[in-house]
Amino acid sequence: MAAFVQGAWAQGAGAVRKQVEGSMLVTGMITIRADGGVAAVELDKPDRLPEGIARFVNDVAMSWRFEPVLIEGAARQVRTRMSTRLLAKPTGDGKMQVSVRSADFGDYEATPVEERISRKSLKPPGYPMAAARAGVQGTVYLLLKIGREGVVEDVAAEQVNLRMVASEAQMRQFRERFARAAIAAAETWTFNPPTRGDAAEQPYWVIRVPVDFSFRETRPYGQWEGYVPGPRERVSWAQQEDRPGFSPDALADGGVHMAGDKQGPRLLTPLDGV
């Protein structure tokens, strides 16, 4: 596994139980050569990342190899968004072992708005009172089935990750509360369907939307957070094949993301680059 050891993070590591992992989302741009190798990696705000993290992500990403991207039948060099979820596990000596858990290479916002699903009205959910009183934060990764009129025909919580530690029974309750709140809000959302291109001909569209429950307006970039991933649920109406190395928690907050084969270049090598 590609990993390195870093000094323990400052955000309350001593109070975090051993089963909790540190989590950080690192984003940027990646340039993929016509032969599938990586030509360049440009991380967002590298100066805000902990010492060693920027070099670690760059080294791992430069070792990746992708299926060549075809444009009009010919392999071309492309530049696309990259989002990686890093995990850090304490090694017991005051340090952490860092690895890449998942990655996403979709650049959905770069697609012309007429050729993709875009947001129309996304009213945020209310914060569950029991979770707010207990100081619990987390992220719900929703799967939505969008009909031809731009309304939500079905919605499910694919995964719910918590930034807290409790018994399994308590964590299950908080996952359910967050999921119910996110689903209830999503049922009222509306979208603009694509009006041209291949996507415009589909009978419906499946998208992912991360919904974050936090006491801060924006999540801090470049800081470790306590992280307990929830189980990933399979949804019968959303069985599109995900790209290798993908997990919902690799998606950046606040975006609308296509599911299935619209997730960008296909990674051929393992996330650790071996």
Q: Within a 10 A sphere around the Cβ of 101, how many other Cβ atoms?
A: 17
Compute how many other C-beta atoms are within 10 angstroms of the C-beta atom of residue 270.
Answer: 14
The pLDDT, as a whole number, for residue 26 is: 96
Residue 217's contacts (CB-CB under 8 Å, 6 or more residues apart) are none
User: What pLDDT score was predicted for residue 3?
Assistant: 44
Chain centroid to CA 117: 18
Query: Roughly how many angstroms between the first and final C-alpha of the chain, as a whole number?
Result: 8
Report CA 249 to chain centroid distance, whole Å. Answer: 4
Taking 70 as the pLDDT cut, the residues of the chain under it are 1-20, 108-109, 240-241, 260-263, 273-274
In 147-217, the DSSP E strands lie at 152-162, 190-192, 205-213
CA distances to 129, 236, 272 from 10, in Å: 29, 42, 26
| 26 within 8 A of 55, measured Cβ to Cβ | no
pLDDT at 17: 52
The CATH number fitting domain 113-262, selected from 1.20.120.1200, 3.40.50.1370, 3.30.2420.10, 3.50.50.60: 3.30.2420.10
Cα 95 to Cα 8, 115, 170: the distances in Å are: 5, 47, 29
pLDDT at 260: 66
**Which of 125, 90, 130 is CA-nearest to residue 211?**
125
Please report the pLDDT score of residue 213 as a whole number.
95
* Alpha helix segments (H runs only) across 226-266: none
Q: How far apart are CA 13 and CA 253, in angstroms?
A: 24
Q: Show me where the domains of the chain are located.
A: 4-110, 113-262
Whole-angstrom distance, CA of residue 165 vs CA of residue 108: 34
Mode of pairing for the β-strands spanning 4-7 and 95-104: antiparallel
Tens-digit pLDDT profile for residues 93-122? 777 889 999 999 877 667 788 888 999 999
The answer to whether 200 and 194 are in contact (CB under 8 A) is yes
Give residue 1's Cα distance to chain centre: 21
Report how far residue 54's alpha carbon sits from residue 179's, in angstroms, rounded to the nearest whole number. Answer: 33
Contact between 138 and 211 under an 8 Å Cβ cutoff? The reply is no
Q: What is the pLDDT, as a whole number, of residue 112?
A: 81
| Angle value at C-alpha 247, between 132 and 48, nearest 5 degrees | 70
